[in-house]
Structure 1
């Protein structure tokens, strides 16, 4: 009788503790989301006012034009076309540089995990991922801006590449490690070369994880400002020359912040950047779920 009562008491205690922990987890999860919802509400409620076609078709206005529009009670003229094209150019070049480097390094680390050189490369990759973005901007300034004799989109791409490589390397390495060893064994047993096995069997099989890592790396650098301030500098016109100073959406947001006449454009620019990053993360989730290993 005593054992039965003790068992029931213990069961009620464990059940009550589980319910309490469940409530606490839900409560703290909700509290952690409150700042996110407040940020989203602030950006959306203030950004939709200038979110129109001009935002995508006109370059950023001058401070004088914005001031005259405010005096007359008109909407601020212009948009952020130069920032959109600059972001596409800088991030596009960074993607072209990053993907081959990240894939090859990730393949090497997954295939030679026990070697001393692979351990050194893995450590350096982790170290690179922890370097502050402003420091990477300074390094890119020393490596690219000074030798070329000026700021450029290429220098900004190099800075973003250094930030993207660790994420692509890690996603490639971890994805390939998760693949069954039988994939490689079957390919080699059928007479395929090692190169064909890697590029025609392993990489396609791990496409979901690798592509997700690439998208997350892109969304990670889309909003970076500090490295671009030291490398791309910015421009008031649309520029497609990789060797000339180029603007970007984060750079324009910083410029708008420093000009009281253009401060209203901060919110529409931030809203556009937020939408792009949200879409990239949403696509990454879909790809990861569809091509799950």
Structure 2
């Protein structure tokens, strides 16, 4: 009887081991399938895009069609670069961050401090809905608000407003969730020591949740880096570097779209996309590091 029980136990144990190995192999296979498209995209961008990457590609403005056509006909590197797009992207990212970060963080603090109240629930629902609104709609809203009534034309400011609206939901939610993870005893201790409410927010809650707040901000920036649709309705684009926020300006996504419509500049599409992908990946990696630090 003992031998029979031992044999039955071994059979069940081997069956469990086989099932465990099967599930483990299936998980690994599906994980490889999931990351394969990303790996292939990065590989394709690198193979096709590194040829144009140089110092001139970063510090020079976009070439005209004739110069690109001549270079392609002579099998040479296309002259010029995307400096106007890089400067425009940086300008609009800074403006959008200046708008979205204070508003988003303060709104997140309000939601944290007023959980369960009707107004807080309404703002939270609006934020969640806003996160799912197509970017082209946000561009149209910015067009009606800024382009038509403030700058009276396409501008970097209008593009920044549309990008800021896109950033807001992520910053709001990340701020609220980060503050929820902070022990309530820290806040109570600060208030018990007689610290004013605003100092509790500025000196206790925000510094304690700094890594979580920064993670949400970086994720918001990485999301808007590659947006094209709202900028087509607001910033429009520019062939030169422009630092006037009331005038049209370019951005890397806009340049990629312009290159796509010019058969002589196809080579610049890959290089611009590679550079943009590198920026987005870097921001995501940095945000993951901060998220890990927060945990």
The match for 2:38 is 36
The match for 1:233 is 236
| Deviation (angstroms), 1:8 | 4.2
The match for 1:176 is 179
The match for 1:265 is 268
In 1, Cα distance between equivalents of 2:101 and 2:198: 18
In 2, Cα distance between equivalents of 1:92 and 1:250: 16
> So what's the TM-score if we normalise by structure 1?
0.96
Matched, 1:22 2:28: no
The match for 2:51 is 49
**Offset from partner CA, 1:55-111 (integer Å, 9 cap, x none):** 111100011111122223322111001000000111110000011001001001111
In 2, Cα distance between equivalents of 1:112 and 1:13: 54
- Which of 247, 255, 258 does residue 258 from structure 2 map onto? 255
What SS does the aligned partner of 2:166 have?
Answer: helix
| Deviation (angstroms), 1:11 | 3.4
Gap regions ≥5 residues in structure 1: none
> So what's the TM-score if we normalise by structure 2?
0.96
Matched, 1:167 2:170: yes
* 7-16 or 171-180, larger mean C-alpha shift: 7-16
In 2, Cα distance between equivalents of 1:4 and 1:182: 55
Gap regions ≥5 residues in structure 2: none
**Offset from partner CA, 1:211-237 (integer Å, 9 cap, x none):** 011001100000000000010000011
What SS does the aligned partner of 2:241 have?
Answer: coil
In 1, Cα distance between equivalents of 2:7 and 2:121: 57
In 1, Cα distance between equivalents of 2:260 and 2:141: 26
Taking only aligned residues, the RMSD between alpha carbons, in angstroms, comes to 1.3
| Deviation (angstroms), 1:185 | 1.0
What SS does the aligned partner of 1:49 have?
Answer: coil
Alignment of 1:1-293 (within 5 A): 1=1, 6-147=8-149, 148-290=151-293, 292-293=294-295
| Deviation (angstroms), 1:5 | 5.0
Count, aligned residues:
292
| Deviation (angstroms), 1:3 | 5.6
What SS does the aligned partner of 2:266 have?
Answer: coil
